[in-house]
Chain A
Amino acid sequence: MADLANTGSLQIRDVSKMFGTFRAVDGVTLDIERGEFLTLLGPSGSGKTTLLMMIAGFLDITQGDIALDGASIADVPAEKRNFGMVFQGYALFPHMSVRDNIGYALSVRKRSASEIKARVDEMLDLVQLQEFADRKPTQLSGGQQQRVALARALCFAPPVLLLDEPLGALDKKLRVEVQEQLKDIHRRVGTTFIYVTHDQEEALSMSDRIVIMRDGAIEQVGTPVELYERPATKFAASFLGKSNFITQGDKTYALRPEKIDLRLGQGGSDARVSGTIRSITYFGSMQRIIVDSVQGDEIEVDIDVWRNQEALTEGAKVDLLWQEAAAVELHDT
């Protein structure tokens, strides 16, 4: 097994990818630390998967350089990079048993049968699939296949694990469960995880850092808290969570719906905006209230249900209140 203690940092320097005249990835520069759980988040067509494929070595880099622990890997073919990868749809080998799938990487490296067996057993323990070792992938559920793919990719102790929308095929309830398992496995193996998704909840709940991508370029990088609390642009604010946008003079502010308080009656001295309730939608733990402000803006307010002592009704006149710091100034036009 490779020593993971001092390997697994990636340096991405001004990387671009052209498909004909289309610029899929546009001058991305990014430092990924060893052992980090980094998520590339963006809508489809934002270049996140293309960037991942260049890191994996399946796509050539048109411009720029990618380095592992400081040494360029741009010219190293995919099979020599030693990066694990969990594919979208898993891409398990359908003709092999779970055990053979997981042991494949060691088997093509011509390791001894006893070493492969020991390591595969270890991986089966890690993903809790001991009793499924002799099944074929098609005899497993989606969540189990996902774990086989993970074990297969981690079996040869790669310094970096790439995950391409690994939860895309699972239903919502299972996803939350698998997210927990993934986080747990990340903590235990200490490998650098690079995770591609378009699901903001996944990104927020699992990542050490998130890279928001848009049109092939990086929009903003930061921890989940930084990105949620201090989005830099309108795109970042609306892609990660929901946001209201309020214009004052030539400045635009992002304001999260749950950071607004709402009070019946109009004209309070501490009110920032007054308006009329247009609609109320009940979500169980909270209710979403749409307010038409007197300035003509539409403002969304999320209120905990338990706090709502007074019965709010559609058409009621209300004041909106929020802390000064809740409104975040945006830096794009």
Chain B
Amino acid sequence: MHALRKHIHPGWLIIAPLLVLVVALYLGPILNILWLSVTDPEPGFGNYAKLGESDALLRILWTTVRICIITTMFSVTLGYSIAYAMVHCHQRQKNYMLTLLLVSFWISILVRTFSWLMLLGRKGLVNVTLEDIGLIAEPIAFMRNEFGVLIGMIHYMIPYAVLPLLVSMQALDKRVMDASSNLGATGAQTFWRIYLPLTTPGLVASTLLVFILSLGFYVTPAVLGGGKVLMVAEYISVQLLVTLKWGTAAMLAALMLFGVLAMLWIMSRFMKLSTVFGGAAR
């Protein structure tokens, strides 16, 4: 026992049961997926080779990436404005806004997705109203296309974008902005030269979070895309449940995993990731 302590910090023994659980229940299945992707239906890289052969697969991947990028851009930009407003308004209003933000977290994604159908569908509130007052003759196709998917996804993602930004804005020393205006900088100069650079870690965290979460979206594209907008998550589920090609599904899942890891790695080349995930800014 004594000899063991020399090499292993006793703290490890305390967290060992949890560690075993995490490895068994989390890492295990992930490894299993990776394993499936190179063994099913037959050993080798046949599943990955499909990427080069199948236009459909590439199209799905491209659709996914495109939608995720647009979603991220809009969510983070809107989230930045909302976080800014929250940090700079009065405490009372801030509490109201924070409550609303949390409430939107608690509402199920299914409910939020279907409510967009009610609002913007062919027989939805907006189209019916516009037709009744004679502004349009035919209903506008808000839904069952990529535009609809984007509306639903951006709406869902904004609260996620706000939180990391809120944290990084609240941590800012207000006197630094005072110093900037005292030195003669206009509001715009203070924003671009001081405020934005100092909130960049929050901006990166928010971008990563939204982008990574968007990659796995399933319900919203399925409902609002009306079957016309196929994203990776939905395609994986089809492979798993309908065509039973588990190897292809595992390959796509592995691809997304590596994609995310690659993004984190590229980010880490440019900045210290610890600042993005709440470490002290240096």
A-to-B contact residues, CB < 8 Å:
56-58, 77-85, 87-89, 91-95, 104-105, 108-109, 136, 138, 152-153, 156
Given contacts A108-B189, A108-B193, A138-B282, contact A79 B182 (CB under 8 A): yes
- Are the C-beta atoms of B183 and A104 separated by less than 8 Å? yes
Indicate whether B279 reaches chain A with its CB closer than 8 angstroms.
no
B170 to chain A: closest CB distance in Å?
16
- Are the C-beta atoms of A105 and B183 separated by less than 8 Å? yes
Indicate whether B281 reaches chain A with its CB closer than 8 angstroms.
yes
Chain A residue contacts of B181, Cβ below 8 A: 77-79
- Are the C-beta atoms of A152 and B183 separated by less than 8 Å? yes
Partner of B182, one of A83, A136, A138: A83
- Are the C-beta atoms of B184 and A91 separated by less than 8 Å? no
Measured in the bound complex, the distance between the Cα atoms of B180 and A152 in whole Å is 10
Measured in the bound complex, the distance between the Cα atoms of B187 and A77 in whole Å is 11
Residues from 135 to 182 in B contacting A, C-beta threshold 8 Å: 173, 175-176, 178-182
Indicate whether B58 reaches chain A with its CB closer than 8 angstroms.
no
- Are the C-beta atoms of A78 and B178 separated by less than 8 Å? yes
Indicate whether B87 reaches chain A with its CB closer than 8 angstroms.
no
Indicate whether B197 reaches chain A with its CB closer than 8 angstroms.
yes
- Are the C-beta atoms of B186 and A108 separated by less than 8 Å? yes
Interface size for B (C-beta < 8 A) is 19
Measured in the bound complex, the distance between the Cα atoms of B180 and A85 in whole Å is 10
Per-position 1/0 for B70-93, Cβ under 8 A of A: 000000000000000000000000
- Are the C-beta atoms of A108 and B185 separated by less than 8 Å? yes
B241 to chain A: closest CB distance in Å?
50
- Are the C-beta atoms of A93 and B194 separated by less than 8 Å? yes
Measured in the bound complex, the distance between the Cα atoms of B176 and A15 in whole Å is 27
B175 to chain A: closest CB distance in Å?
4
Q: Is the interface of B mostly helix, strand, loop or mixed?
A: helix
B214 to chain A: closest CB distance in Å?
29
6 additional A-B residue pairs with CB within 8 Å, beyond A58-B182, A87-B178: A81-B182, A87-B179, A91-B178, A94-B281, A95-B198, A108-B185
- Are the C-beta atoms of A108 and B179 separated by less than 8 Å? no
B-to-A contact residues, CB < 8 Å:
173, 175-176, 178-186, 189, 193-194, 197-198, 281-282
Chain B residue contacts of A89, Cβ below 8 A: 173, 175
- Are the C-beta atoms of A82 and B184 separated by less than 8 Å? yes
Given contacts A79-B185, A83-B182, A105-B184, contact A91 B175 (CB under 8 A): yes
Contacts A/B (CB < 8 Å), 12 sampled: A56-B182, A78-B178, A79-B183, A79-B185, A84-B183, A85-B179, A85-B182, A87-B179, A89-B175, A91-B175, A93-B194, A104-B180
Which residue on chain B has the smallest CB distance to residue A83?
Answer: B182
B274 to chain A: closest CB distance in Å?
15
B253 to chain A: closest CB distance in Å?
39
A81 to chain B: closest CB distance in Å?
8
Measured in the bound complex, the distance between the Cα atoms of B181 and A323 in whole Å is 54
Measured in the bound complex, the distance between the Cα atoms of B282 and A175 in whole Å is 26
B36 to chain A: closest CB distance in Å?
46
Which residue on chain A has the smallest CB distance to residue B174?
Answer: A91
Chain B residue contacts of A95, Cβ below 8 A: 197-198
Which residue on chain A has the smallest CB distance to residue B187?
Answer: A79
Measured in the bound complex, the distance between the Cα atoms of B198 and A82 in whole Å is 25
Chain A residue contacts of B182, Cβ below 8 A: 56-58, 78-79, 81, 83-85, 153
Measured in the bound complex, the distance between the Cα atoms of B178 and A88 in whole Å is 12
B48 to chain A: closest CB distance in Å?
42
